[in-house]
Copies of this chain bind each other. A is one copy, B any other.
Amino acid sequence: MATGRTHRPATRSRGIPEATVARLPLYLRALTALSERSVPTVSSEELAAAAGVNSAKLRKDFSYLGSYGTRGVGYDVEYLVYQISRELGLTQDWPVVIVGIGNLGAALANYGGFASRGFRVAALIDADPAMTGRQVAGIAVQHSDGLEKIISDNGVSIGVITTPPGVAQQVCDRLVAAGVTSILNFAPTVLSVPDGVDVRKVDLSIELQILAFHEQRKAGEEAAAGTDGGAPAVAARGESASADKGPDGDVPAVMPA
């Protein structure tokens, strides 16, 4: 696996922390909303509130991009929209393919948030011949036989996998072999990819499980409180009852790896 090789000489002129990168889209969305309301400038405090983070964090994040604010005033909304877009690479066009057109694939194809950023759904691909030719979100579904050609004809470097888990790895392999170097995986499987290929995963049930964990803590917390009969207290072995967890509104997206 990862082989610890390359020990980056720590050259860090332009090294934006992962945690910051993961928040840039958040700021961008908030800024876009302000822009649509023709708000000209915004303070770190206001923008932070709109993005759901705290202002010190936001200022620190922006400091990695450069000094784009004006002391005593705030940030110019349009300028910041542009800078963040550029930093994220959204000023260019990213053709994307979605493989596996079930409900989830269709949901993604219809999702407005893609087109409004730099993403363009170049193709929808499915292995089921019955799906081929069907229109989803105004795009004709193509059969997976042509996957390689579709990738190279469209210069696709980002692929989205929304197939059943059983075929996700082989779809992934084909995507990578065809030239895709970034994959967003919705299938509940661990994908293995060669060095140089990025994978991010979104796992629907993991998020729920994390919520359940915290929910359970809450339930245990009100120890003596006789709540409704809806929640059966599971009394396993010697339980701890003390649970403490900073409730916390701003948990970033899915999970930085």
CB-defined contacts of A18 to chain B, threshold 8 Å: 251
* B199 lies within 8 A of A24 (CB): no
* Chain A residues touching B, range: 35 or more
A239 to B21, CA, bound (A): 18
Whether B253 contacts A196 by the Cβ 8 Å rule is yes
- Chain A facing B: main interface SS: loop
Per-position 1/0 for A108-141, Cβ under 8 A of B: 1011011001110000000000000000000000
Which residue of chain B lies nearest to A156 when distances are taken between CB atoms in the complex? Answer: B230
B244 touches A154 (CB 8 A): no
* In the complex with contacts A157-B231, A190-B52, A117-B242 CB distance below 8 A: no
With an 8 A cutoff between CB atoms, is A2 at the interface?
A: yes
- Taken together as a complex, chains A and B put the C-alpha atoms of A257 and B2 apart, in Å, by 6
Q: Are the CB atoms of B236 and A8 closer together than 8 Å?
A: no
Contacts of A6 in B (CB 8 A): 250
Which residue of chain B has its CB nearest to the CB of A193? B257
- Determine the chain B residues whose CB is within 8 A of the CB of A89 once the complex forms: 212-213, 215-216
Contacts A92-B234, A199-B255, A212-B158; is A205 near B240 (CB within 8 Å)? Answer: no
Cβ of A51 within 8 Å of any chain B Cβ, yes or no, is yes
Contacting pair B9 A204 (CB below 8 A): no
- Per assembly, the copies of the chain total 2
A102 located at the interface, meaning its Cβ lies under 8 Å from any Cβ of chain B in the complex = yes
Given contacts A200-B211, A204-B111, contact A13 B254 (CB under 8 A): no
CB contact list, A188-227 vs B, under 8 A: 188, 190-193, 195-216, 218
Interface pairs (30), CB distance under 8 Å: A2-B248, A6-B250, A8-B250, A11-B248, A25-B203, A25-B206, A26-B190, A68-B241, A87-B213, A89-B213, A89-B215, A91-B234, A92-B231, A93-B232, A119-B212, A157-B215, A157-B230, A158-B215, A160-B208, A184-B211, A190-B257, A192-B257, A193-B253, A196-B247, A198-B255, A199-B249, A199-B251, A199-B257, A200-B251, A207-B253
